[in-house]
Amino acid sequence: MDITFKNVTYIYQPNTPFSHKAIEDLSFQVESGTFMAIIGHTGSGKSTLIQHLNGLSVPTDGEVVIGEYRLSKHDKPRDMKELRSRVGVVFQYPEHQLFEETVAKDIAFGPQNFGVNEAEIGQRIKEIIPAVGLNETVLERSPFDLSGGQMRRVAIAGVLAVKPDVLVLDEPTAGLDPRGQKEIMDMFYKLHKEQGLTTILVTHSMEDALKYADQVLILNKGTKFMEGTPLEVFNEKDALQSVQLDVPEIVQFLNRFEEKFGQTIPFQKQSIKEIAQSIQQIIEGAESR
Amino acid sequence: MNNSLIIGQYVPGNSLVHRLDPRTKITIIFFFVFIVFFANNIASYSLLTVFALTCMFTSKVPIRFIIKGLTPVWFLIIFTFILHLFVTREGTVILEFWIFEFYSGGLIQGIAIALRFFLLILVTSLLTLTTTPIEITDAIEDMLHPLKRFKFPVHELALMMSISLRFIPTLMQETDKISRAQASRGVDFKTGPIKERIKAVVPLLVPLFVSAFKRAEELAMAMEARGYQGGEGRSKLRELKIEKRDIFIFILFAIVVAALLLIRSYS
Amino acid sequence: MSKKLVEFRNVSFRYDEDGPWVLKNCSFEIYENEWVAIIGHNGSGKSTIAKLLNGLLFPQEGEIVIGGQQVNEESIWSIRKEVGMVFQNPDNQFVGATVQDDVAFGMENRGVQRDEMQKRITETLSAVRMQDYRLTEPHRLSGGQKQRVAIASVLAISPKVLILDEATAMLDPSGRKEIMDTVGEIQESSGLSLITITHDLQEVVQADRVIVMNNGNKWREASPREIFLEKDALRTIGLDVPFVAILAEELKHAGVSLKSTPLNQEELLEDLWILHSRT
């Protein structure tokens, strides 16, 4: 589904002494099938943005359009549930939402709410369990007996079981160890490709944005600071630094290399191996002189 | 979003009322609640009203906060007034209406009781408006101290209160987060038949309890790691101190009480 | 070498009598004024080590000695004076109603006098750069700020060892940097022994020594530089290899004769510069 934000402003507790503008005049577009990364500091408006994607928040001003659903001050979809069945959200630390007696029941909870029949749910669970890297033996266990990493996967399975068209991921790897982080991100990427999802990833990791995203949106204090392909965005080192954001380590290194050696190795998402070869050539070049 | 959160009704300030020792405030309110029932004529009611209003204005708490604090009890105040108006049959009939007769005694009593209520609530809400919950906790711990001799767990009680207060905002944020997550999974908290809505609370409550238990466990461990072994041998950073202003207020209040008793006996 | 402060002698631990061993026959030593990083994947036993150090758990086998005292039921209260701990979740270790109350908590437990408490609160809050937040309530602080308060609370009781048990795991990158900077400054100025427990290899660079845990066993014990050399082995036990280590290796493959293992970008660039200017 295409996603459009048109001059969206969102104010918490408007008309009170505590009113607080979380998003201001934000506009952007995400084409169906895009993997988009949203980056920004804590408090930059990322969480508020996410809540607009499935109608948990409705803009104070402006308009959000998700597929055929329209959200604005005057215009709310009649059936919010329908929108929520098509936009799946994996919140930060999603294992905190588990509550059923068994893993199977918890995964079935979402689809049941959206009126999927039992046979179909059973079928979906069968498919999803291996996809999230779990074993069928966990299905009848209590989710609270599992390890943290397994609980995370169960919670993710619960969102995927609804079969959304848009997948919103709010720092899905927070608190996992490096192997867990990589496994989870690779899994989402695979799903994104295989099922033609539109994926919105909120992350602090520039490395993940570089690796997976087609499009990057940088938020700062509730407004759009920058938007473009990862290459476009991450080559703007100075602009990013002005809002205390880092560039991916690989880009950072190439920048420093340029400062020191006066020679540029342009970054085009090449592998570390290729970069090593470029460096070697520059140094060899010097040697052969 | 976080910054707007206010626990209880405390309105920050630096007025005389704010700076009074919380024990002074609690003691005076305790006695005020008593003497309100001694008032029996216009003069004595006026005296108490003047005292309460003086406290209110000295506190510099904006009137709208005070009115907001009174909203839940307006109904009660008006209800008692009307009840007295209808039920009391003393004095002369001042109005006849259909089958009802209103007596002057009813009117006076109604006003008196309503005023009594109003004063009680005004003064007690002034306490919570000008004193932080943690100050109240400190005061309670200090005032209950003598009960320690009877093995009453005063320190534990106060610690429990202060930790609960400390975790209220945390748990509120958590509730918010979990309800958003479950709403995204298709739970409808706002519409539908009552039965469905009650059922919708389960996916909210279970995770909340699970997390609260986890927090409690971790907090207990952190406290132990920081050397907590109960109230014995502990020192305290927070200190309650009776100042000149407290003594001044006590004397003033004593004068009000004496005057009240005097006025009362002359009626 | 300076004095031995912490010693694990063949320590084994499990939660249940017939459960699996979380820690198996683990031995190591930590010296005064040393920074040791303990690293491992989730469930490798690294956090259990922290809890054993503080007497929150006791080993079934082997013994733990801290400052000459064996850790057991009788000695825990004096051990806890020597060993301060900062945990993972910033919210679940904040006891006080305000920042200063939280810093005071540990001192109150030990009956420190009020004047002394005030003095130490001022000192330790400045050490973690939180002096402007003395009366702030916890829900108005960021995760990184809460963790800095937690560090101040521990410093206030002047321990000999400070343990950070995945204290940065729940923070965003700026919070993580705040904590690592703070910790680095404190270790330098105070002569404290520091044990940082993490799964992030970036955070071990500053340490003097690294202990790598895997499935309850001590897998390696070496300097960060030596650990970085074992790129493939680290991957097989679920850890990430820093970018600089990967690039250095690729450079060697490409025929650039780096002479050492660089720990960070500066060192790598310096090495390359030397090679470059030699010709």
Using one digit for the tens of pLDDT, what is the confidence trace for B26-54? 999 999 998 998 888 888 899 999 999 99
Q: Residue A129 burial by CB count (10 A; 0-12/13-18/19+): exposed, middle or buried?
A: buried
| 8-state DSSP, A16 | S
Closest chain C CA to residue B212: C92
- Tell me, what CATH number does A114's domain have? 3.40.50.300
Alpha carbon of C262: minimum distance to chain A alpha carbons (Å) = 13
- Same-domain check for residues A199 and A152: yes
Contact B40, B264 (CB under 8 A): yes
- Same-domain check for residues A143 and A197: yes
User: Over its length of 279 residues, how does chain C's per-residue pLDDT go in tens digits?
Assistant: 578 999 999 999 999 888 889 999 999 999 999 999 999 988 888 989 999 999 999 999 999 999 889 999 999 999 999 999 999 999 999 999 899 999 999 999 999 999 999 999 999 999 999 999 999 989 889 999 999 999 999 999 999 999 999 999 999 888 999 899 999 889 888 889 999 999 888 888 889 999 999 999 999 999 998 988 888 888 888 888 888 888 988 898 888 888 778 888 888 998 888 888 776
Q: Is A177 in Cβ contact with C253 (below 8 Å)?
A: no
Contact C141, C114 (CB under 8 A): no
CB atoms within 10 A of CB C65: 17
Among A245, A262, A278, the domain-final residue is A245
- Same-domain check for residues A179 and A267: no
Q: SS3 of C267, please?
A: helix
Token pair 């895009």 in the structure block, residue: A34
All chains having 3 or more CB pairs closer than 8 angstroms to chain B: A, C
Contact A81, A114 (CB under 8 A): yes
Going C96 to C98 to C103 to C107, the CA torsion angle's sign is negative
- Same-domain check for residues A267 and A174: no
Q: Residue A197: CB partners within 8 Å, gap ≥ 6? A: A33, A164, A165, A166, A167, A191
Using one digit for the tens of pLDDT, what is the confidence trace for A189-243? 999 999 999 999 999 999 999 999 999 999 999 999 999 999 999 988 889 989 8
- Same-domain check for residues A154 and A256: no
Token pair 């004593």 in the structure block, residue: B254
What CA–CA distance (Å, rounded) separates C176 from B148?
Answer: 45
Contact A11, A24 (CB under 8 A): no
pLDDT of residue C90: 94
How far is CA B133 from its chain centroid? 10
Domain ranges of chain B: 2-131+241-266, 160-225
Whether residue A174 lies within 8 A of chain C, CB to CB, comes out as: yes
Which pair of tokens denotes residue C1?
Answer: 């070498």
What CA–CA distance (Å, rounded) separates C124 from C141?
Answer: 17
Alpha carbon of C83: minimum distance to chain B alpha carbons (Å) = 9
pLDDT of residue B8: 61
Using one digit for the tens of pLDDT, what is the confidence trace for A154-190? 999 999 999 999 999 999 999 888 889 999 999 999 9
Q: Which residue range is the domain that position A287 belongs to?
A: 248-289
Alpha carbon of C15: minimum distance to chain A alpha carbons (Å) = 15
pLDDT of residue B189: 78
Whether residue C112 lies within 8 A of chain B, CB to CB, comes out as: yes
Which pair of tokens denotes residue A182?
Answer: 């990589």
Whether residue A176 lies within 8 A of chain C, CB to CB, comes out as: yes
What CA–CA distance (Å, rounded) separates C26 from C45?
Answer: 10
Q: Residue B78: CB partners within 8 Å, gap ≥ 6? A: B114
| 8-state DSSP, C34 | -
Q: Is B225 in Cβ contact with C108 (below 8 Å)?
A: no
Whether residue A52 lies within 8 A of chain B, CB to CB, comes out as: no
Q: Residue B227 burial by CB count (10 A; 0-12/13-18/19+): exposed, middle or buried?
A: buried
Q: SS3 of A177, please?
A: coil
Mutation target among B3, B176, B184, B206 for the A interface, most CBs of A within 10 A: B184
Q: Is B186 in Cβ contact with A113 (below 8 Å)?
A: yes
CB atoms within 10 A of CB A11: 18
pLDDT of residue C55: 92
List of domains in chain C: 4-224 (3.40.50.300)
Of A147, A148, A204, the CB nearest to C172: A204
User: A29 to each of A34, A45, A71, A84, A87, how far by Cα in Å?
Assistant: 10, 17, 15, 19, 16
Nearest to A196 by CA among A33, A30, A31: A33
Whether residue A228 lies within 8 A of chain C, CB to CB, comes out as: no
Of B174, B183, B186, the CB nearest to A114: B186
- Same-domain check for residues A57 and A156: yes
H or E segment and range at residue B139: helix B133-144
Number of domains chain A is built from: 2
pLDDT of residue B267: 59
Contact B262, C139 (CB under 8 A): no
The letter for the amino acid at B260 is L
What CA–CA distance (Å, rounded) separates B102 from C87?
Answer: 70
Q: Residue B171 burial by CB count (10 A; 0-12/13-18/19+): exposed, middle or buried?
A: middle
Contact A110, B185 (CB under 8 A): yes
What CA–CA distance (Å, rounded) separates A167 from A33?
Answer: 10
All chains having 3 or more CB pairs closer than 8 angstroms to chain C: A, B
- Same-domain check for residues A96 and A195: yes
What CA–CA distance (Å, rounded) separates B149 from B147?
Answer: 5
pLDDT of residue A286: 58
Q: Is A178 in Cβ contact with C279 (below 8 Å)?
A: no
What CA–CA distance (Å, rounded) separates B148 from B141?
Answer: 10
What CA–CA distance (Å, rounded) separates B219 from C151?
Answer: 16
Cα angle A185, A22, A245; round to 5? 50
Whether residue A16 lies within 8 A of chain B, CB to CB, comes out as: yes
Alpha carbon of B168: minimum distance to chain C alpha carbons (Å) = 10
- For A70-90, b/e burial (b = at least 16 CB within 10 A) is ebbeeeebeebbebbbbbbbb
Of all residues in chain A, what percent carry a pLDDT higher than 90? 71
Which pair of tokens denotes residue B223?
Answer: 């406290």
Of C142, C246, C276, the CB nearest to A261: C276
Which pair of tokens denotes residue A199?
Answer: 């994926």
- For B32-71, b/e burial (b = at least 16 CB within 10 A) is beebbeebeeeebbebbeebbeebbebbebeeeebeebee
Nearest 5°: phi and psi at A161? Answer: -60, -20
What CA–CA distance (Å, rounded) separates B223 from C9?
Answer: 27
Nearest 5°: phi and psi at A281? Answer: -60, -40
- Same-domain check for residues A234 and A133: yes
Which pair of tokens denotes residue C146?
Answer: 């809460």
CA dihedral B252, B257, B259, B262 (to 10 degrees): -160
Q: Is B206 in Cβ contact with A113 (below 8 Å)?
A: no
- Same-domain check for residues A72 and A165: yes
pLDDT of residue A155: 96
What CA–CA distance (Å, rounded) separates B44 from B38?
Answer: 8
Residues of chain B with pLDDT under 50: 1-6
What CA–CA distance (Å, rounded) separates A12 from B117?
Answer: 36
